[in-house]
Amino acid sequence: MTQKADIGLREAQAVVDNWIRTTGVRYFSPLTNMAVLAEEVGEVARLMARIYGDQSFKSGEKPAEALADELADVLWVLAAIANQTGTDLADALRANIEKKTARDAQRHRNNMKLK
């Protein structure tokens, strides 16, 4: 069995950029991409409500692999928006984790609701 190599955030951004410029012709406007992101997140929410929540699938719906595909769509359009705004997602995520660690190091441990 051949193991597939992981794709990092910078590589993901480069792959999305290349695909958009070669196959997709050009980027949508950032505002259009924001609307697409909202739509894709809505699809994730719909699937989560049916897979893990109390809603059921409609007759004929096939949930297999749908959640993974929708999460990938979210990541795709997020990478496109990051490319358009000059955001390096790897750097942004690293900085965000550091911020959360400094801010929340004790907060969650001391939250009685989480015990």
DSSP calls for 71-112:
HHHHHHHHHHHHHHHT--HHHHHHHHHHHHHHHHTTTTTT-G
C-alpha to C-alpha distance for 6 and 92, rounded to whole angstroms: 19
> Helix or strand or coil: residue 20?
helix
pLDDT in tens, 80-99: 999 999 999 999 999 999 99
pLDDT in tens, 12-66: 999 999 999 999 999 999 999 999 999 999 999 999 999 999 988 888 887 778 9
Q: Given its phi and psi angles, is residue 95 left (phi above 0), alpha (psi -120 to 50 degrees) or beta?
A: alpha
Contact 90, 96 (CB under 8 A): no
